[in-house]
Amino acid sequence: MSVEIHSRPRILSVRRLALLATTVAGLSAGAYLFAPHNAPYAPAALAQNLSEQTQGVARPAGFADIVEKVKPAVISVRIKTAAPAETTGTENSPFPRGSQMDQFFRRFGMPEGPPNTPRGRRFGQAQGSGFFISADGYAVTNNHVVENASTVEIATDDGKTHTAKVIGADPRTDLALIKVEGGSFPYVKLADNPPRVGDWVLAVGNPFGLGGTVTAGIVSARGRDIGAGPYDDFIQIDAPVNKGNSGGPTFDVNGSVIGVNTAIFSPSGGNVGIAFAIPAETVKTVVAQLRDKGAVTRGWIGVQIQPVTPEIAEGLGLKKGTGGALVAEPQKDSPAVKAGIEAGDVIVSVDGKPVKDARTLSRMIGSMAPNTTIKLGIVRKGAEKALNLTLGELPNTREARADTGNRGRDSRRGNEPRLGLSLAPAGSEPGVVVAEVDPNGPAADFGFKAGDVILEVGGKTVGTPDDVRKALGDARSEGKRSVLMRVKSGQGTRFVAVPLGRA
């Protein structure tokens, strides 16, 4: 084992430490380093004000009592996988290798494969963390820690090792449930209430293979979306976590698990004070299904949705601050089609609960069981409606989206120089094909590409370039500052708000 010395530690003299302690004490008493112009310097008054504001606030002198209580339930998870010859271990990034997101958001399962393994079939090893949730050996960790594992071994805080089996896993939330047989184990409970921003938290795990490591910090933010999946709702913490902490718990000051550590923001690969944990509320729902069925089933309505931007809201005539999720297109034979949902509808509530945005709708529907009947509140062409819908089951594989990239050009296409588009009729299919896009034109700024199909402009179905021109002209004459276009591409169907000033 080699030890790298990255920098020489700075040593302070006793006198300098005393001066530093005096300065810190002054700051704790409420003294200002910088006072407003002409403001009186009154440290006693400031200290009294600070004391009044913090009365009744729990300020633990240390975390030793909590650590003593919860640390025995935290485990190190070591897995062995059969790896192809070109890999060295377990790569646990949720993003494409080498991509910008891969460089910044890194899963931290700590690969350990040797760099010069002979060619042919070989094995990789990886380490992570986990924690017992019941005395009979059920434990929670991350899906990316145990994914494709041929064997799973755990080490408890007292140094004992046990073989574990994977009961079930859910890639969409990156959670997994494992089971250790033959024993009674210390365990911890998942928190009943979500934490507040600013609450103290404690992370325990196995960073870099150093099992039983404890770090502390606060909740920095909630509801974070880091692009890992459709159900992102992470708690952001600043307690230092690193590779190997994956799957480990984050505790509150009562010793309850508020989240499962799963990702870090790390340009360098190490801790920079930004980590993300899956909320306990999500863990409870997922683990209950994994324990009962070994898999997770989710409700599904079958729509392509997108956020309601201010430009889109104006184009749809929505009231300011309506929120909701815009339906770009219902999928064929889906529960949405059967319930009567149409493209252009804005879903604003589910069973009376407001839908803030498209991501909120995904989480709400995904948390419900298939075959549940719900009431959707929608806004259609400015009018509010209520629809009853019976949820289907979210398919394991997504339905293939239409690919319009191979459409031929039509000699009758019209030219739209003010949009920077060359358009052509779509033949026997509805819409108008985008034949060419001027890279320096306005349309390129809004993501238009050759092969896209414009289905609607301003809520009107279009079939020829002249239909597009007329719809744009009508929107201008009505005094609209932007017009909505419903566009179909290889990635699905979406609405695009094009400012008329640039058309």
pLDDT digits (tens, 9 = 90+) for 61-91: 789 999 999 999 999 999 987 654 443 333 4
- What average pLDDT score do residues 371-396 get? 89
CATH code assigned at 458: 2.30.42.10
The pLDDT, as a whole number, for residue 323 is: 84
210 and 291 both lie in a single domain: yes
The answer, yes or no, to whether residue 133 has pLDDT greater than 70, is: yes
Pairing of strands 346-350, 373-380: antiparallel
The answer, yes or no, to whether residue 487 has pLDDT greater than 70, is: yes
Please give the backbone phi and psi of residue 200, each rounded to the nearest 5 degrees, phi first: -65, 145
420 and 386 both lie in a single domain: no
Among the listed residues 93, 220, 246, 349, the single catalytic one is 246
Question: Model confidence at 39, in pLDDT bands (50, 70, 90)?
Answer: very low
268 and 315 both lie in a single domain: no
Q: Which range has the worst mean pLDDT, 40-54, 61-75, 108-122, 302-316?
A: 108-122
d(CA 77, CA 141): 8
- Using the structure block, give the residue that is written with the tokens 């500052």: 481
Average per-residue pLDDT in the chain? 76
Establish whether 37 is a catalytic residue.
Answer: no
Alpha-carbon distance values, 339 to 114, 185, 298, 342, 375 (Å) = 56, 49, 18, 9, 10
The 3-class SS string of 359-399 reads: HHHHHHHHCCCCCCEEEEEEEECCEEEEEEEECEECCCCCC
150 and 200 both lie in a single domain: yes
More confident: 242 or 12: 242
* Domain closes at, from 268, 295, 322: 295
More confident: 453 or 4: 453
365 inside domain: yes
d(CA 194, CA 359): 19
Please give the distance of CA 391 from its chain centroid, rounded to a whole number. Answer: 23
Domain with 311, as residue range(s), is 299-393
- What average pLDDT score do residues 428-443 get? 77
102 and 207 both lie in a single domain: yes
196 inside domain: yes
The answer, yes or no, to whether residue 328 has pLDDT greater than 60, is: yes
386 and 442 both lie in a single domain: no
Identify the three-state secondary structure at position 483. strand
The pLDDT, as a whole number, for residue 95 is: 52
Question: Model confidence at 484, in pLDDT bands (50, 70, 90)?
Answer: confident
Among the listed residues 76, 93, 129, 174, the single catalytic one is 174
Residue closest to 330 by CA, chosen among 396, 392, 256: 392
245 inside domain: yes
253 and 324 both lie in a single domain: no
More confident: 218 or 402: 218
22 inside domain: no
* Rg (alpha carbons) of the chain, rounded to whole number: 28
14 inside domain: no
- What average pLDDT score do residues 294-323 get? 84
**pLDDT digits 0-9 by tens, 196-247:** 999 999 999 998 888 889 999 999 999 888 766 667 789 999 999 988 899 9
The answer, yes or no, to whether residue 60 has pLDDT greater than 70, is: no
d(CA 147, CA 98): 21
Establish whether 174 is a catalytic residue.
Answer: yes
Among the listed residues 76, 93, 129, 144, the single catalytic one is 144
Question: Model confidence at 303, in pLDDT bands (50, 70, 90)?
Answer: confident
**pLDDT digits 0-9 by tens, 152-161:** 999 999 999 9
The pLDDT, as a whole number, for residue 137 is: 95
The pLDDT, as a whole number, for residue 479 is: 74
d(CA 180, CA 136): 8
The answer, yes or no, to whether residue 166 has pLDDT greater than 90, is: yes
Please give the distance of CA 273 from its chain centroid, rounded to a whole number. Answer: 18
Residue closest to 451 by CA, chosen among 415, 407, 414: 407
More confident: 422 or 290: 290
The pLDDT, as a whole number, for residue 83 is: 54
Question: Model confidence at 488, in pLDDT bands (50, 70, 90)?
Answer: confident
Question: Model confidence at 99, in pLDDT bands (50, 70, 90)?
Answer: low
The pLDDT, as a whole number, for residue 52 is: 57
Q: Give the number of domains in the chain.
A: 3
More confident: 123 or 429: 429
Q: Which range has the worst mean pLDDT, 78-87, 179-188, 479-488?
A: 78-87
d(CA 261, CA 259): 6
d(CA 388, CA 375): 5
CATH code assigned at 231: 2.40.10.120
d(CA 47, CA 92): 49
Identify the three-state secondary structure at position 269. coil
The pLDDT, as a whole number, for residue 131 is: 97
325 and 468 both lie in a single domain: no
134 and 167 both lie in a single domain: yes
Question: Model confidence at 58, in pLDDT bands (50, 70, 90)?
Answer: low
Q: Are 276 and 221 in contact (CB under 8 A)?
A: no
439 and 369 both lie in a single domain: no
279 and 313 both lie in a single domain: no
26 inside domain: no
340 inside domain: yes
Share of the chain above pLDDT 90, in %: 36
Q: Which range has the worst mean pLDDT, 239-253, 279-293, 372-386, 409-423?
A: 409-423
The pLDDT, as a whole number, for residue 110 is: 44
The pLDDT, as a whole number, for residue 263 is: 87
All residues at 6 or more sequence positions from 77 whose CB lies less than 8 Å from its CB, including other chains: 127, 128, 129, 130, 141, 145, 146, 152, 153, 154, 164, 178, 206, 247
The answer, yes or no, to whether residue 353 has pLDDT greater than 90, is: yes
Which range of 237-251, 258-272, 305-319 scores highest in mean pLDDT? It is: 237-251
The pLDDT, as a whole number, for residue 201 is: 96
376 and 418 both lie in a single domain: no
The pLDDT, as a whole number, for residue 286 is: 93
The answer, yes or no, to whether residue 260 has pLDDT greater than 60, is: yes
Longest pairwise C-alpha distance within the chain: 87
The answer, yes or no, to whether residue 334 has pLDDT greater than 80, is: yes
389 inside domain: yes
Establish whether 6 is a catalytic residue.
Answer: no
**pLDDT digits 0-9 by tens, 106-131:** 444 444 444 444 444 455 677 899 99
* Domain closes at, from 250, 273, 295: 295
